[in-house]
């Protein structure tokens, strides 16, 4: 897989080049990207809108899922560029925090109860 | 930056381990993750809900932005695991497609017109 | 049902009073409400995040669903106040447009195909 | 305004007729509508994606805003039909709850601080 050798920095640079070639830095500010990430996340969700969750994905829908997921990722990569933060670092830190919040022993096989208000 | 040496595969493996330790594979199916990505994207958006887009981020809000952005990324990484796809490949392919759709010459400094229905 | 006698205008006035008592008109501008509606919609979606779509709603979760749906509606009502538009009119006009777009004869029992890009 | 004389029940009945004429009740289950509401909310948000919040709406964009807001409302109305709940009642109850949560005296002119995690 390309993922084995592709660094996060390489993907971030590729996205920065795309944005720069169009002089879109003025649009790709964090506040706008927060909107863009929600919009693309909804385009991904739309592919599952009228189907049972358990229904398998046919090849054509699966291809669309990959494209919409890529759009979410592209805007997330652009947001780490716009914030000037280390994507790997914020992901690893958040996973460590989640590990404390959801200890494996306590949460094995269990999801949060939706009826309990946070 | 850690991003310079961290591969996408390393982040994906870290997320897979977190999910596996909790036996959450049954929850982390693509259809559920599409919902989770939208939910986390909205938690990111919520931080910008009542502010002017141009208002600068104070340090505490910026820290919350990084955490919520990390949550979106974690679920996206999990979705590439659940789909068994190469994250780098789908991102690079989508950027190539976007380059054809939005030629730099034509789109320099311009955003899509929201009044035109797609 | 209260819905039989409650006018849309009465609900809009009730929301306007709530906003006015807090001097929140400066926050309840349309651009902010568009974010708020997405945020509340995601809080509704979150209740279905880890469950099968076909799983029945227990009473406690159902109560939470009603509360989150109410939040989406409150911000939509506020948006019609902020825009100064007739809610009934925009809903009825859009239903007429949808009737032309999705003629009953052609769409009976069918949903849009997610694999076809719009 | 039509809102002065239109009851909530009349709008709900109009949406129920639209759904029934297409035999779409099987799609308009609450779990699917939660996804649909998020998707339409994002289409509304998309109209504000690349603009400053303070930028005024031109007539054409404003028309699109009204259409997307109507779509969110139509799915919310359908969700109250699918749940069999009184829309007016859940909205009024939630406003009462919000009045206790955000006392006017304490919250006058203030928004929630985004840097404080809930």
Closest CA in chain A for residue C111: A50
Q: What is the pLDDT of residue B113?
A: 85
Chain B residues closer than 8 Å to C98 by CB: none
Q: What is the pLDDT of residues D56-86, one digit of tens each?
A: 899 999 999 999 999 999 999 999 999 999 9
Partner residue facing A35 (CB), from D43, D49, D118: D49
Predicted confidence at residue D54, as pLDDT, reads 78
Q: Judge whether residue A31 has pLDDT over 80.
A: yes
How far apart, in Å, are the Cα atoms of B51 and each of B38, D22, D56? Answer: 21, 42, 16
Is residue B83 a contact partner of residue A66, using CB atoms and an 8 Å limit?
A: yes
Chain D residues closer than 8 Å to A50 by CB: 27, 32
Write down the pLDDT at residue C115.
81
Whether the per-residue pLDDT at C47 is higher than 90: the answer is yes
Chain A residues at the D interface, defined by Cβ less than 8 Å, are: 27, 32, 35-36, 38-39, 41-43, 45-46, 48-50, 118
Report whether pLDDT(D114) > 90: no
Residues of D with CB under 8 A from a CB of A: 27, 32, 35-36, 38-39, 41-43, 45-46, 48-50, 118
For residue range A83-95, list pLDDT tens digits in order: 999 999 999 999 9
Indicate yes or no: CB of C80 within 8 angstroms of CB of D69. yes
Distance from CA of C115 to the nearest CA of D (A): 16
| pLDDT given for residue C52 in this prediction | 78
- Collect all residues of chain B within an 8 Å Cβ-Cβ radius of residue A95: 14-15, 18, 74
> What is the overall mean pLDDT for chain A?
95
pLDDT band at A54 (very low <50, low <70, confident <90, very high): confident
- What's the rounded mean pLDDT across residues D5-11? 98
- Give the residue ranges of DSSP H helices in chain A: 8-21, 30-46, 59-83, 87-101, 104-107
**Alpha carbon distance C48, D34 (integer Å):** 8
Q: At D7, is the secondary structure helix, strand, or coil?
A: strand
Neighbours of chain B (3+ CB pairs under 8 A): A, C, D
Distance CA C36, CA B50 (A): 8
How high is the mean pLDDT in each 10-residue block of chain B (118 residues)?
97 98 95 97 96 86 97 98 98 97 95 82
pLDDT score of C26:
93
Neighbours of A98 (CB within 10 A): 15
Task: State which residue of chain B sits closest to C43, comparing Cα positions.
Answer: B39
Residues 6+ apart with CB under 8 A from D105: none
Q: How far apart are CA B65 and CA A32, in angstroms?
A: 13
pLDDT recorded at residue B115: 81
pLDDT at residue number D44: 98
Which pTM does this prediction carry? 0.97
B6 vs B23: CA distance, rounded Å: 26
Contact A49 D43 (CB under 8 A): no
Instruction: Please tell me the distance in Å from A74's CA to the nearest CA on chain D.
Output: 15
Q: Which residues of D touch A49 (CB under 8 A)?
A: 32, 35-36, 39
Predicted confidence band at A42 (pLDDT cuts at 50, 70, 90)? very high
The ipTM value here is: 0.96
Adjacent-strand bridge partners of D7:
C7
Q: Is the pLDDT of residue A52 over 90?
A: no
| Confidence at residue C54, expressed as pLDDT on a 0 to 100 scale | 78
d(CA C43, CA C68): 6
The minimum CA-CA distance between A80 and chain C, rounded to whole Å, is 21
What's the confidence (pLDDT) of residue D94?
Answer: 98
Q: How far, in Å, CA of C7 to CA of B88, rounded?
A: 53
Q: Given a cut of 90, is residue D14 above it in pLDDT?
A: yes
More confident residue, D1 or C87: C87
Q: Chain B: nearest CA to A115, how far in angstroms?
A: 16
pLDDT the model gives residue D99: 96
Residues from chain B that touch D53, judged by Cβ atoms under 8 A, are 52-53
CB count in 10 Å sphere of residue C2: 16
């Amino acid at each position: 897989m390309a993922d084995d050798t592709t660094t996060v920095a390489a993907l971030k640079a590729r996205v920065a080049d795309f944005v720069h070639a169009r002089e879109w830095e003025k649009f790709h500010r964090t506040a706008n990207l927060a909107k863009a990430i929600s919009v693309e996340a909804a385009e991904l969700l739309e592919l599952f809108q009228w189907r049972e969750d358990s229904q398998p994905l046919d090849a054509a829908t699966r291809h669309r899922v990959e494209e919409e997921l890529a759009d979410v990722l592209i805007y997330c990569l652009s947001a780490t560029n716009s914030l000037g933060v280390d994507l790997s670092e914020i992901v690893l830190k958040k996973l460590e925090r989640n590990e404390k919040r959801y200890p494996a022993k306590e949460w094995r096989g269990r999801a949060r109860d939706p009826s309990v208000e946070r």
